């Protein structure tokens, strides 16, 4: 046994020696996938991991045939573990995915790693854009005409198409790979706002945002009519200057401030024929309603703040201190969020077709004065605290349509005469110092879902031609709810086929007077019972019994003064 152990020990002692580790290295690519376009350069980090005591420098090259792809040899020193290999893609490169081999050598040791390369077609790219001879600004006003954009970038010689918003654009001569000039036409009526430049090349589109910014023709207190450019950053001083340069489709923008004769403004004369200062199809827009103010020389000055041509309009500004703050003689005009205050007439209309939304007329002598052949559509807004009437509608073939409008704090709230046709929906007329709504002559009224309340005399004093009310409330007026005089063709507070659904209550002294007082002229014979009708209309909380009620001196009816008929032979029919 001892002999066997000794033999095993001798054999072990005579066995092979330990093999020293191999001196070598390996490489790794970061990133392993590289995306490039033709003409672009991309970098890949080559990371060397040395082992077995290897400590030599490593030379890295691009191996094999790689048409259109080049990379300068890279030497990674012995003291370093990484380096950057730069790849360049030329027009000869294959479009798509390829797998070039990166080879690393040091002495007899050679290693390789495959790169996934994805090549796409070249794009052109703008890196800087300036407007030539424009003092570093990219703003240009509407109607400026021709401007030149100076473009810096790469691959600009490869551009095949240009687009600058909705503007006309073309390349000027002298293009190079990194410089390009574009001619741009900025017409009147150009849409304001930032215009992005889109460059199209074989590899697709690139976009440079806000290459050009179109502004309305702009004026402001810090501007200058001689040296200004009519832009937000370099405005003119006067509205007059901006209007003189405007053409159809343009917007004249007024920055916050006060515009007066002393600052250079001139105003149209107020008279029989007013010459517009706002050209056709031009809009005047303030920066804010209370901030942009047109101020006239006074209510007795016979001047107009803004007189409109066809298809023109105004928005978000204040007009004060004129014989007429706003005036329309003819044409289609739009008003939005304007304030007419402290004028003899806030808004004078002698013709045309006007749409006004969220407009306010306050502190004038008369808020709105409509005469002649005119149509006015009002939505939202108010006419209030005027020293005389809030709204006056007169003349022939004239129409007022008001929705969600409010009339209060005037002498008479709304007065209609002549052949005026007035349609009110969702309108509130209240707290006026005389009648809320008064109509005479041949005026016709239509009230829907409206309220007439807390006026000093009648809520509705009617002596016109025709009156129709549906879903309307007349309440808490100091003298009468509804007062009817003259010889109207029709007073319709509900009919046999169509309920009125009106409510008249607490009108008259102490809220106990007549809700309806009929003082139509006496008749020799009985009148038409259909000329004055009620249906589903409550008077102080009571719906009158269906009947025909004659004006024969036996009034009031229903044992309470809910309605009275003073004119002999006049009739009220209740359905």
**Would you call 15 exposed, middle or buried from its count of C-beta atoms within 10 A (0-12, 13-18, 19+)?**
exposed
Strand partners, 503: 473, 538
* In contact, 546 and 496? CB cutoff 8 Å: no
Bridge pairing between strands 204-215 and 217-219: unpaired
Nearest to 532 by CA among 571, 497, 496, 483: 571
Burial degree of 495 (CB within 10 A; 0-12, 13-18, 19+): middle
Residues contacting residue 69 through CB under 8 Å, at least 6 positions apart: 62, 87, 88, 89, 90, 93, 98, 100, 117, 119
E strands of 238-359, at which residues? 251-254, 257-259, 283-286, 292-295, 304-308, 312-315, 318-320, 324-328, 332-336, 339-341, 345-357
What are 231-235's contacts with CB under 8 Å, separation 24+?
Answer: 231/137, 231/139, 231/140, 231/141, 232/139, 233/137, 233/139, 234/135, 234/137, 234/139
- pTM for the model stands at 0.86
Strands 193-201 and 161-164: antiparallel
pLDDT number for residue 512? 74
pLDDT at 553 (0 to 100)? 55
Can you list the residues of the chain whose pLDDT is less than 50?
1-14, 558-560
């Amino acid at each position: 046994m001892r002999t066997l152990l000794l033999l095993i020990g001798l054999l072990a002692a005579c066995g092979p020696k330990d093999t020293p580790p191999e001196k070598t290295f390996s490489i790794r690519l970061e990133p392993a996938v590289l995306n490039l376009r033709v003409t672009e350069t991309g970098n890949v980090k080559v990371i060397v991991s040395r082992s077995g005591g290897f400590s030599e420098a490593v030379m890295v090259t691009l191996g094999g045939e790689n048409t259109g792809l080049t990379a300068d040899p890279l030497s990674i020193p012995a003291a370093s573990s990484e380096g950057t290999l730069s790849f360049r893609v030329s027009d000869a490169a294959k479009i798509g995915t390829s797998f070039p081999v990166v080879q690393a050598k040091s002495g007899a040791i050679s290693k390789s790693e495959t790169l996934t390369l994805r090549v796409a077609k070249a794009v052109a790219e703008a890196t800087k854009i300036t407007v030539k001879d424009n003092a570093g600004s990219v703003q240009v006003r509407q109607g400026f005409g021709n401007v030149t954009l100076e473009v810096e970038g790469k691959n600009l010689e490869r551009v095949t198409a240009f687009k600058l918003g909705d503007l006309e654009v073309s390349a000027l001569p002298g293009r190079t790979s990194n410089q390009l000039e574009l001619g741009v036409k900025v017409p009147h009526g150009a849409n304001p706002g930032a215009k992005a430049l889109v460059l199209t090349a074989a590899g697709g589109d690139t976009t440079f945002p806000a290459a050009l910014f179109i502004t309305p023709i702009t004026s402001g207190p810090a501007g200058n009519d001689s040296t200004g450019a009519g832009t937000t950053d370099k405005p003119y001083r006067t509205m007059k200057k901006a209007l003189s340069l405007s053409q159809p489709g343009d917007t004249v923008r007024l920055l916050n401030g006060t515009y007066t004769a002393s600052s250079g403004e001139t105003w149209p004369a107020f008279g029989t024929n007013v010459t517009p200062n706002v050209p056709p199809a031009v809009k005047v827009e303030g920066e804010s309603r209370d901030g942009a103010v047109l101020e006239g020389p006074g209510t007795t000055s016979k001047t107009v703040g803004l007189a409109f041509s066809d298809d023109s309009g105004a928005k978000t500004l204040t007009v004060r201190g004129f014989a007429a703050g706003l005036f329309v003689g003819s044409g289609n005009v739009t008003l939005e969020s304007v304030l007419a205050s402290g004028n003899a007439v806030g808004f004078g209309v002698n013709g045309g077709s006007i749409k006004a939304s969220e407009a306010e007329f306050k502190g004038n002598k008369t808020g709105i004065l409509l005469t002649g052949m005119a149509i006015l559509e009002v939505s939202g807004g108010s006419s209030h605290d005027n020293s005389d009437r809030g709204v006056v509608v007169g003349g022939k073939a004239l129409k007022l349509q008001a929705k969600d409008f409010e009339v209060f704090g005037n002498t008479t709230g709304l007065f209609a005469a002549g052949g005026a046709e007035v349609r009110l929906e969702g309108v509130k007329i209240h707290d006026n110092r005389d009648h809320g709504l008064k109509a005479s002559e041949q005026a016709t009224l239509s009230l829907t879902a409206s309220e007439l309340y807390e006026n000093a005399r009648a809520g509705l004093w009617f002596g016109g031609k025709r009156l129709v009310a549906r879903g309307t409330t007349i309440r808490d007026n100091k003298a009468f709810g509804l007062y009817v005089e003259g010889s109207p063709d029709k007073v319709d507070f509900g009919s046999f086929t169509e309920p009125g659904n009106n409510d008249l209550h607490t009108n008259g002294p102490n809220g106990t007077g007549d809700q309806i007082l009929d003082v139509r002229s006496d008749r020799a014979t009985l009148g038409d019972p259909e000329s004055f009708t009620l249906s589903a209309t409550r008077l102080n909380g009571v719906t009158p019994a269906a009947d025909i009620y004659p004006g024969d001196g036996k009034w009031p009816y229903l044992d309470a003064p809910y309605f009275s008929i003073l004119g002999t032979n006049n009739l009220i029919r209740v359905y």
